[in-house]
Amino acid sequence: MDINTLKTKVIGLFKQGLTPIELTQSIIVSGLISTIPILGVSTFLLTALSFKRKLNLPIMIAQSYIMWPVQVIMIIPFINIGEFILSIPKTNHSAQEIIASFQNSFFATLSHLSFELLCGFGGWLLTAVPFSAGLYLVSIFILKLFLKNND
């Protein structure tokens, strides 16, 4: 198999006949879900969303793996935002401690750090969701301008 055939097959896998707007939705939804501050749930959520909304699963999973460092980096800030919003004392957990806890036992971590993870989820909802919605609207506007100029 030559390099052009392989390139065509890979591009076809990522496009899957989707429109530019559907590809944009796949990328933005994947970026949003990939930053949820609860390790281990993004792949499941992305798969479910891709089937329900007919989005591009290969792009979403690839982006999820690329976004993993961002997810890890954002765990503590999301928890801090949630704690600030709920006006509760700040916890002193580190990202490494949370990751190690998830690696040892997913369900024990959910039980032990449930309140912190709930605060992190709240922080994610209050920051990442509005940011992604704004990014989506701007992207759609730019895509429509670009597609309009190409016609």
pLDDT tens string 97-139: 877 887 888 788 777 788 888 899 999 999 999 999 999 999 9
**Which pTM was predicted?**
0.75
Buried b (16+ CB within 10 A) or exposed e, 43-80: eebbeebbeeeebbbebbbebbeebeeebbebbbebbe
Is the pLDDT reported for residue 14 higher than 60? no
Is the pLDDT reported for residue 74 higher than 70? yes
Q: Is the Cα dihedral 26, 31, 35, 39 positive or negative?
A: positive
Q: What is the mean pLDDT of residues 11-31?
A: 76
Q: What percent of the chain has pLDDT over 90?
A: 30
**Amino acid (1-letter code) at residue 119:** C
